[in-house]
Structure 1
């Protein structure tokens, strides 16, 4: 499902216009980015949890030259599926 299909489905299920559904998706994206950027978890019970995770510094290797290099510590985002999402993916719902 792409963004346009998601907007259409959301608009049909919620009874709002596609423009309103698009605004909600944009706002959700902004809220997720802001919260994870501050280090806060975003939890939607049964659906998913989005959190910021820290990646430790490590030693890597350049595959072309074989030279070792230090990779700095950084942050990433992690999405953990909830029970409803897991059930849907396994075909049980």
Structure 2
């Protein structure tokens, strides 16, 4: 399911316009991005949590040349599915 299909599905369930639903979806995504980029977690009970983590610097290899390279430390984005979501997927 892509973003437009998600908007269409939500609009069908709520009866709202697709334009209004698109604004809602965009606002939701923007707010999650802002919160996680500030280091906050976004927790949606029954669905899951969006958060950030840290990846340590490490040694790696250039796949084209085989040359050893140093990969810098980086922040990562993570999603952890909630128990209800996991149970539904595994049933």
Q: How many residues align?
A: 91
Distance 1:26 1:51 in 2: 19
Deviation at 1:30, TM superposition (A): 0.4
Partner of residue 15, structure 1: 15
The answer for unaligned runs of 5 or more in structure 1 is none
Partner of residue 6, structure 1: 6
Partner of residue 44, structure 1: 44
Deviation at 1:9, TM superposition (A): 1.2
The answer for unaligned runs of 5 or more in structure 2 is none
Partner of residue 81, structure 2: 81
Partner of residue 72, structure 2: 72
TM-score, with structure 2 as normaliser: 0.91
What root-mean-square deviation, in Å, do the aligned CA atoms of Structure 1 and Structure 2 show?
1.1
Distance 1:85 1:37 in 2: 24
Q: SS of the counterpart of 2:40?
A: coil
TM-score, with structure 1 as normaliser: 0.90
